[in-house]
Structure 1
Amino acid sequence: MFLRKRAMFDIVCDLYTKGGSNKFFGIFEQRQPLFMVRDPDLIKQITIKDFDHFINHRNVFATSSDDDPHDMSNLFGSSLFSMRDARWKDMRSTLSPAFTGSKMRQMFQLMNQVAKEAVDCLKQDDTKVQENEMDMKDYCTRFTNDVIASTAFGLQVNSFKDRENTFYQMGKKLTTFSFLQNIKFMLFFALKSLNKVGTSFTHMRKIY
């Protein structure tokens, strides 16, 4: 991952596969011991039934956001996957009603509209598809981007037609790391105290 030869998710998948039939097993992330849970029932028990005992996410990105809910100086530290303590518990209670069966069905209508736009794009570019020139990574990225824009922000951006729209460009900048940013990312994991100096490896200032 450090040399960008393999994606982080591929490494995690390999570790998951090596767990075999075990419900959970231990691994090391540098010097940090971790548990990887494989059993769906155990995951459900930890995240739902025993939530009061496992309230916190991992403290990957140290941030002052836990003290000041309006502090957005650290984008990843302020994300759902990094919130901790009372702030995460309050946010979980706020978001849970948004994912009921009826709300999910409403989201499906928005996702279905994006899917139609994606199909229209294929029909318009059928010559490229026949010549095997379709960039599937770009295609899937635009689909994912539009689903997030529609369901989470209520925006109709249609990145298949408006290929340079601001929402897509900012999302791409946020999720595309250079070699230097990858090095900084690894250092954030290995030396978490570096987070406290206020260094950022994202394009936060360009987005907000």
Structure 2
Amino acid sequence: MARTDTALASRRKGTRDAEATRGAILDAGRAEFAERGLGGGRIDAIAERAGCNKAMIYHYFGSKAALFSAVLEHNYALIRSAEAALDLSHRDPVEAVRTLVEFSFDYVAANPEFIKLINEENLHAGVHIDAAMARKLNSPVVGTLREVLARGAAQGVFRGDADPQQLYISIASICYFSIANRYTLSAIFDLPPGDALLGYRRAHVIEVILGYLRP
């Protein structure tokens, strides 16, 4: 291998190693902050979870607060990426909305860290989230939903005045509340705990959203 090829391969390996380390730190931060919050989360514990030293964390992120901000961005990017994979634009409008609601419910149920990190950031009045970044991440799914609603209205299966942004917020809100409060809901209303309750709520949420959209 020529010297230039060796140098290029070395740079590529260094880039891959850096990306892997940064990814490991974000995953470790997600777990630590979800479990202990921003105040209780420790850089030592994150370094141990990530299999690196504290210096690497400060090298990539600068501070614990900055790492928390990066974890939030990573948290939102994960769900937005998963939403994009649903390919809603190529689905029948009713199927597309049903798929989005099912996904939203199942994602929150399968990723409790998502709820905990959002709760933590709201306790801090949203000061760590980059608003411009968050809007940029959310724009594609709202745009896709707008197109789905327009197709549904044109076909006569959806009402014509549904606001895609408000609808998305409603979907996220209902799914989030059902998961985040499953234990208190079970106790207050004497409902079956765990997966049985979630099954009932999942079916109900789908019917509520589709019922609202009927013309």
Q: Normalising TM by the smaller chain, what interval?
A: under 0.3
Q: Which has the higher strand share?
A: 1
Q: Which has the higher helix share?
A: 2
TM-score where L is the length of structure 2: 0.24
Larger radius of gyration: 2
TM-score where L is the length of structure 1: 0.24
